Amino acid sequence: MTNLDDPFQWLEGVTDADALGWVRERNAETTAELTGGERFTDLEREILEVLDADDRVPYPRRRGDFLYNFWQDAANPRGVWRRTTLESFRTDSPEWDVLLDIDALGRAEDENWVWKGAAVLRPDYHLALVELSRGGADATEVREFDLRTRAFVDGGFTLPEAKTRVGWIDADTIYVGTDFGEGSLTTSGYARVMKRWTRGTPVTEAVTVFEGKPEDVSAFAYRDHTPGFERDFVGRSPDFFTSEEFLLGPGGELSRIEVPDDASTSVHREWLLIHPRTDWTVGGTTYPAGSLLLADFDAYMAGGREITMVFEPDAHTSLQGWSWTKNYLVLSELQDVKSRLEVLTPGTWERAELPGAPEVGSAHIVDTDPDSSDEYFLESSGYLQPTTLVYGVVGGDAAVVKQAPALFDTSGLTVSQHFATSDDGTKVPYFVVGDGTPGPTLLYGYGGFEIALTPGYSASMGRAWLARGGTYVVANIRGGGEYGPAWHRAALRDKRMRAYEDFSSVAKDLVARGVTTAAQLGMQGGSNGGLLAGVMLTRYPELFGAVVCQVPLLDMRRYHILLAGASWMAEWGDPDEPADWEYLRHYSPYHLVQSGRTYPPVLFETSTRDDRVHPGHARKMAARMVEQGHAPWYYENIEGGHGAAADNKQRAFMAALAWEFLLRSLAD
């Protein structure tokens, strides 16, 4: 598309003065209109109280003798990285040992650092590769940190800001993929070249161990540090859903793990797990898409194909993930979008239910200690059930160690599941949370990348919406992973309209059942869900009374050349291919919006520091709508990355804007 075709292309200049001037003007308009009243002040305060609550659940991660946690609150808005013992964690007031204070670091360096995680060296856990982001972007600066001295290592491993992939080999060697210069990144902006970097040498002397192709999404390299089973793996991801993985030998030789490209694999001790995304026939047996298969790793690499199917999906049940303890395999499953957990014993593969999943809700394993024990941490919650964290040992006792408080009144509220009939006859599940009184209703959806939306507690939503008389609905449309890979593939690429038909069918079903009216029905979505919101706005405007469109993709003609957009072409298609653009143009919101048509009120929210989904999508859509005589609301947070906020105060402000907009549009 040329500038003549797209007069607002100048807004793609993320930090260009003219573009930021336009952003500030729109922000000022929205802030002046939406933030002046008492209700907005109450909303912001109520949400911030939730985000900063001292009694919310601190999620732990086991690393050796300690449990680690990253924590943000009012006193630590950018957060602290801290640790404690299991014994202390199980008390009402754990004694936390702070390792790194991000707020103090930011003040000392006059930088807006945002925590992005740390890779800690196994099995001693005394060194870490800490990743810090400016303002919350995906690109990070890497610094080596000594957990014994609680200080960055002078002369240690450090890398400047880039979309970097790093991991430990041993105390003096790491794998690194970063911006080494021209040709070292893929067209998606991620590492194409993986190298082995030795302490005390410049990164320019790091030795290449693997190279992907320029058009790949990314390359990777990592070491499995499991005692007695140390191995090195490298590989490439040609697109978002495929990969080629190799065992890296001591002399650099590569041995391919021979599975279908669209199958994911993981190796634990002597076991190889294979999760095919399409039906796979091997050894005369066809294994269904979405199953979980197991083989002896060494025997498989030697050519053997003795495979055990440890999970078989059906029309109502899908596999969401798995976790290893030292002696067991734990499966996380969904049955009609409700969680179930099973424990399998290696060898016999006997299975038993792991208790803890709510009747209507979600449960998943937060962490295990596969090197040395059968312990697990299990989180569970529901739309009206606050988060519970259980500590247990497979085959032994389990007990609640943390319980989040109820932060909104659930009296009179119920949760129910229903099924709408989509345009092609498919039954689409959705959950309704409310008091049964017809009125303002918010419909939320995502429908992409095989991600399932499962029931979970949101105190912010409960306080801002349910407590003010609203009804909340979540649609489990195709494109997601609620029913495994087939549910995703059903809305892939040229079939994407099925996801939008599913969502519109849920909207129509809500009105038909008397839950709400079109004038009082709002919808909300972010990222891929922001694209969903844009499609609802432009193709189904008559179904909604308001639309909240957050960190969205909207220009499907140029998305693949904006930031990380090329990495998602397996999901939506390549706009440069005429056949792909032929179907993309039928739902690309930026190209469908037009003057002379009535649209519901819409709020766009995005972030200048989002280096994953370009803020130009939201900017250009809002500008085009204004030019056509519409009146969209727009707010762009200068920090925040793809989450659109860098700390709890920013999160509360952005959320309060959306709730105030919805309440004005649907309830006033």
Both structure tokens of 523: 């919808």
642 classed as catalytic? yes
Q: What is d(CA 607, CA 643) in angstroms, rounded to the nearest whole number?
A: 8
Under a CB-based contact definition with an 8 Å cutoff, are residues 475 and 443 in contact? Answer: yes
The closest of 380, 356, 501, 510 to 433, measured between CA atoms, is 510
Q: What is d(CA 620, CA 615) in angstroms, rounded to the nearest whole number?
A: 9
Q: What is d(CA 185, CA 568) in angstroms, rounded to the nearest whole number?
A: 16
Rg (CA), the chain: 25
| Residue 8 zone, left/alpha/beta (φ > 0; ψ -120 to 50; rest) | alpha
One DSSP character per residue, 301-315 reads HTT----EEEE---S
**Segment (H or E) for 87:** helix 86-89
Tokens 């993929």 appear where? 177
Sorted by sequence, the CB contacts under 8 Å of residue 109 that are 6+ apart come out as none
**Which whole-number Å values give the CA distances from 349 to 290, 310, 329, 330, in the listed order?**
18, 7, 9, 11
268 classed as catalytic? no
**Which whole-number Å values give the CA distances from 399 to 55, 64, 326, 642, in the listed order?**
18, 21, 20, 36
**Which whole-number Å values give the CA distances from 86 to 95, 97, 121, 328, 635, in the listed order?**
10, 13, 20, 21, 43
Write down the catalytic residue from 188, 362, 642, 665: 642
Q: First and final CA of the chain: distance in angstroms?
A: 42
Q: What is d(CA 17, CA 183) in angstroms, rounded to the nearest whole number?
A: 30
The closest of 115, 113, 105 to 70, measured between CA atoms, is 115
Question: What are the backbone angles phi and psi of residue 398, rounded to the nearest 5°?
Answer: -140, 145
DSSP state of 271: E
Residue 65 CB-density burial (10 A; 0-12 exposed, 13-18 middle, 19+ buried): exposed
Under a CB-based contact definition with an 8 Å cutoff, are residues 210 and 219 in contact? Answer: yes
Q: What is d(CA 12, CA 15) in angstroms, rounded to the nearest whole number?
A: 9
Under a CB-based contact definition with an 8 Å cutoff, are residues 338 and 330 in contact? Answer: no
Under a CB-based contact definition with an 8 Å cutoff, are residues 495 and 477 in contact? Answer: no
Write down the catalytic residue from 323, 381, 527, 588: 527
Q: What positions carry a catalytic annotation?
A: 527, 642
